[in-house]
Chains A and B, each alone.
Chain A
């Protein structure tokens, strides 16, 4: 980061969902910072709170969700903003791409209209002008014959093409922040690569701050500048992509990396156990029940991030583990 004001700044975000059986603490104090033109990879497994964090930032959670903390887009606070303030920010300064492009597009509206709608929601523009601009946008994201395709419906598009449409919609108003929530998970591997190219292209061309939410560490290694690893509603480790892949300090991050298939590795080592129940998260470090290095100290306070080897880690035993490893 280079002294510039971050385009997205999340401070101590907490999200709880009231349910019949009690409060589910989906996000428990998460900080995120993204600068313009930067890509942040957010990694975590199901229920780690990675999607909920950014849906909360977008104001897209159900009304029953309780959101605390601060979300600033280009310095403007969004938590507690009125509905109309929120609406004027969404789609203009912060926009989002979702996992399944088929269900995320309205099946009964023409593609061109779905792009135009985004433009006209935030700009005084005639229908014709918006339509023309939509065709340009479809062209930018690499949709062939955009003029013809604009008049078609989502079911006439392939999965990859639909995701391109979603990207075209997301960038229509040149947003400061683009959140991509597992945008390639539902796609074929070959198409995945194309979509990643499009997103990177957008990142550079539009100088948007991109948040790339995924469970795929390989994707993160390829395109992200920085990585933030989440577990049980908290950040366990973050830092630039190279440091994390070279010297992970948190046992959870190590577990994730060890479970990745790689050249020259005979077997994959899965992390034993399952993620915790967020109705009653464990005291102290939430990863403790699954951690092979857990000791008494881990059950104390919830560990905060602290700097180590150019990274920030939430493991209280990170230093000890480095020593042990150094010996071994």
Chain B
């Protein structure tokens, strides 16, 4: 979704662009004299910061985004190395406690309670997170790489490639994503060489392929938009006029300058992939990670049956961890957007 978060308090302090300074001082860089107050305050003392370091500085000042980043890192680390936070093995069944064989409510022995096989939910939440988060990261990397290349090419070259890209993504983005995923899932599974490489449609690799196949489109559109606007800017024109080659312009100028939007797209892709995986799992079309193993989507899907029996812990804890993770990623993404686009800053502070 497009975000427009203008800062209402800066408008009048920004003075008119074409001003006397340009007339007086033909030698001075227009950017310098047209500085807004905010930019001046950034460059105090004459030190000049690269856009990347400036963004970093902006980000660090955003308390909410910093908290989200810490929470996210803790969750990701805990899930990538689940044996550290976990208290029992992934498939380990706890011994009988009191009169309950299975479905034990939260207690000192099992903080989040146990499931239908008396396995510790607290431990399984992290083991499940490993698969979900790894799928999320893998899909985001693939989708962003493919999306960046396709989007940059389409934006830079334009023409037929651009038309095709826009039409395909138009169709897909207008459709409910769940429908696209489900239909595509069956199609990809029938293509024999994909089957040979990626395995069955319930494999994790297949899920990564499926989610990437849909996920790259949003990234490509974002990058295309950025490249289209950068293409006409002076520095690109300048390097073209001195004979820089197409690939050089693309990799030295366009893609680095699109880094901010790409990083935001990356965070959106991770969220999209985790959500899509868990939604597919919820309806029984997700990956099956193997006997005794699980994912967040599977944990929540299996809790469905517990709802009407009142096993609330089966529902609440996996949902909570999933939602906290997604909220954290979204806040980090939002912080990145603000950091790379100072104009949109201070909308939440």
Contact = CB atoms under 8 A, between A and B. Distances in A.
B12 A271 contact: no
A259 interface: yes
A200 B27 CA distance: 35
Given A19-B38, A22-B41, A279-B40, A45 B24 contact: yes
Contact of A259 (B19, B24, B40): B24
Given A46-B34, A277-B40, A62 B21 contact: no
Given A45-B24, A256-B20, A259-B23, A19 B12 contact: no
Nearest to B27: A270
Interface in A258-282: 259-260, 268, 270-272, 274-275, 277-279
A123 interface: no
A249 interface: no
A113 to B, nearest CB: 25
A24 interface: yes
Contacts of B12: 51-52, 55, 60-62, 65
Given A19-B37, A62-B9, A64-B9, A44 B24 contact: no
B25 A185 contact: no
A275 B16 contact: no
A43 interface: yes
Interface string B130-166: 0000000000000000000000000000000000000
Contact of A46 (B8, B16, B41, B44): B16
Contact of A271 (B15, B17, B24, B40): B24
Nearest to A24: B37
B13 A52 contact: yes
Contacts of B18: 185
Contacts of A84: none
Nearest to B37: A24
A279 B346 CA distance: 19
A198 to B, nearest CB: 21
B32 A274 contact: yes
A44 B20 contact: yes
Nearest to A261: B23
Contacts of A17: 9, 13, 37
Interface residues of B, number: 27
A182 interface: yes
Q: Max chain A CB contacts within 10 Å: which of B19, B28, B346?
A: B19
A26 interface: yes
A42 to B, nearest CB: 11
Contacts, number: 89
Contacts of A215: 19-21, 23
A17 B12 CA distance: 10
B19 A45 contact: yes
Contacts of B44: 21, 277, 279
Nearest to A277: B40
A191 to B, nearest CB: 15
A103 to B, nearest CB: 11
B11 interface: yes
Contact of B20 (A20, A26, A45, A99): A45
A24 B21 contact: no
B33 A275 contact: yes
A19 B41 contact: yes
A278 B16 contact: no
B8 A99 contact: no
A275 B15 CA distance: 13
A46 B33 contact: yes
Interface in A266-317: 268, 270-272, 274-275, 277-279
Nearest to B26: A270
A132 to B, nearest CB: 35
Contacts of B26: 268, 270
B41 A270 contact: no
A182 B41 contact: no
B32 to A, nearest CB: 6
Contacts of B8: 62
Contact of B13 (A22, A24, A256, A268): A24
A45 B32 CA distance: 13
Nearest 10 CB-CB pairs, A to B? A215-B20, A21-B41, A45-B20, A46-B19, A46-B15, A259-B24, A270-B25, A45-B21, A62-B9, A215-B19
Interface of A: 17, 19-22, 24, 26, 43-48, 51-52, 55, 60-62, 64-65, 99, 182, 185, 215-216, 255-256, 259-260, 268, 270-272, 274-275, 277-279
6 contacts: A17-B13, A24-B37, A26-B13, A47-B15, A259-B25, A277-B41
Given A61-B12, A270-B24, 7 more contacts: A21-B44, A22-B41, A44-B20, A45-B24, A45-B33, A52-B13, A270-B28
